[in-house]
Structures are given as structure tokens and as C-alpha cells.
Amino acid sequence: DSGVTQTPKHLITATGQRVTLRCSPRSGDLSVYWYQQSLDQGLQFLIQYYNGEERAKGNILERFSAQQFPDLHSELNLSSLELGDSALYFCASSPNPGLAGGPGTDTQYFGPGTRLTVL
Amino acid sequence: TQLLEQSPQFLSIQEGENLTVYCNSSSVFSSLQWYRQEPGEGPVLLVTVVTGGEVKKLKRLTFQFGDARKDSSLHITAAQPGDTGLYLCAGASSGTYKYIFGTGTRLKVLA
């Protein structure tokens, strides 16, 4: 158990819809990272928040957005969903701010993931 | 586009055998990390290497970062069924620190 929690575990929805994925980091961790893992694209870094502020951006689509709240939990919002958005979405947390493009050498603790299926 | 290519893509071996997984790129990375991911779980960090030529050992696992910091390898000695999983390399590119994952190597160790 990494100490990172993600809800829901599974989510099934239809094309065009909007969903929200939630992540609670390990106690004391200020950074939250979001990743997408799909069969064709592998694991991709989407975005990082550190202490409430956006810190680094990866391959995140404009239809996707995220935020980190004062209690440090984070939400990833996916809108206008397409079939190709079906994937596992992971969040990870770290105590450190990382580097400009992502976590750098920091140790990240990954949650169990949310499996999103778009029909 | 920066890529981290891993080989082999799939590997099925008998318990007790040795194996090596490779992670290659045409770009320089400031650091590389190796993860293992089991079904239904998130990746777990195994090691971080930052210096060209660096070698790190973790029990039966040996990690090496290439001298030019463009490649890395993971060697497992006397593989065990518990080593089964998806092995991923990931790195921060030199300069931009953009973080990318490798294509993955799926290992199955048969008892």
C-alpha cells in the first residue's frame, strides 16, 4: 500500500460525457502527478501540481484539466470524452517539487489507478 | 520526439535464469528511473541513476546507466516468479527535464 488513494476504481461512461477522478496523496506529500496508461501509448505524464499550484505540464489534452485543493487532494477532469480516452489513470505523490518538466529524480508513490472505459 | 525504447518487449523465462532488459534513447537524459508494475497496481520505483556509467545493485537486480546517459540496462540474476511484472524505465530529459516513460518490458518467470 503506497498510501495514495484514488477513486473511483472503475468508471464506465459514454462518449461526449465528463468525468472527475480523485486522488488523495500520502500524508505530508505536496506534489501530485497525473498519468495516463493505455495499450497504444504506454504510460504518459499528464500534469503536476505542487502545493496547490500547477508545476509541470506533460502531454495533457486541452479537454483535460486538473486542480489541487488546499487539503492537497487533486482532481483530474476529463471532458468531451472520446473512445481513445479509455485508459488507466494513475496519480502519484511526492514530498518534493520535482523539476521543470516533471518529477526528475524524486521518488513518486503511485496510487492503484482508476480504470476509465468510454463506450 | 524523445523516445525511450525498451527491449525485449516480452520475456518468458524459467526460474533461475538470468536476463537483461534494455532501455535506449537517441537523447541524453539527466536521470533514469526503473519501475516494476504488477497487474492492477501502480508502478513501484526500484532505482534512480543519475551519473553516466553508474551501477547500482538491489539484491539480485543490477542497474546500469550508460556513459553517455542515453541508455540503461536492468540485469536480473537467478530470476524468481516474484520478479514477474511490467518493467518500465523513465527519465528526465537533459535540459528540459521533460519526464517520459519507456515502452515497457513484460517479464514472466515460470516456476
Could you report the per-residue pLDDT of A68-98, keeping only the tens digit for each?
A: 999 999 999 999 999 999 999 999 999 998 8
* DSSP string for chain A: --S-EEE-SEEEE-TT--EEEEEEPPTT--EEEEEEEETTTEEEEEEEEETTEEEEE-S--TTEEEEE-TTS-EEEEE-S--GGG-EEEEEEEESS--BTTB-TT---EE---EEEEE-
- The percentage of chain B sitting over the pLDDT mark of 90, rounded to a whole number, equals 89
Contacts with A110 from chain B: Cβ below 8 Å: 41-44
Residue A84: Cβ within 10 Å count: 12
pLDDT per residue over A58-73, tens digit each?
Answer: 989 999 999 999 999 9
- Is B97 close to A110, i.e. CB distance below 8 A? no
Pair A6, A113: CB distance under 8 Å: yes
Position A114 pLDDT exceeds 70: yes
How far does the CA of residue A39 sit from the closest CA of chain B (Å)? Answer: 10
Cα–Cα distance for residue pair B58/A11, rounded to 1 Å: 37
* Mean pLDDT calculated for residue range B53-74: 97
For B:57-96, CB contacts with A below 8 A are: 88, 90, 92-93, 96
Give A40 or B61, the one with higher predicted confidence: B61
Tell me how many residue pairs between chain A and chain B have CB atoms under 8 A apart: 63
pLDDT at position A13 over 70: yes
The pLDDT, as a whole number, for residue A39 is 87
Of B40, B48, B96, the CB nearest to A100: B96
Compute the average pLDDT of residues A43-62.
94
Asked if residue A41 has pLDDT above 90, the reply is no
- Mean per-residue pLDDT over chain A, rounded: 95
A 47-76: CB under 8 A from B: 56, 58
- Please give the pLDDT value at position A102: 85
pLDDT at B18: 98
The pLDDT assigned to B1 comes to 60
For residues A19-39, average pLDDT: 96
| pLDDT given for residue B2 in this prediction | 66
3-state secondary structure of B81: helix
| Mean pLDDT computed over A5-9 | 97
CB contact under 8 A, A42 and B101: yes
Nearest CA among B46, B12, B56 for reference residue A110: B46
pLDDT tier, A26 (very low <50, low <70, confident <90, very high otherwise): very high
d(CA A46, CA B100): 10
Q: Do B41 and A58 touch (CB under 8 A)?
A: no
Please tell me if residue A14 touches chain B, with a CB cutoff of 8 Å: no
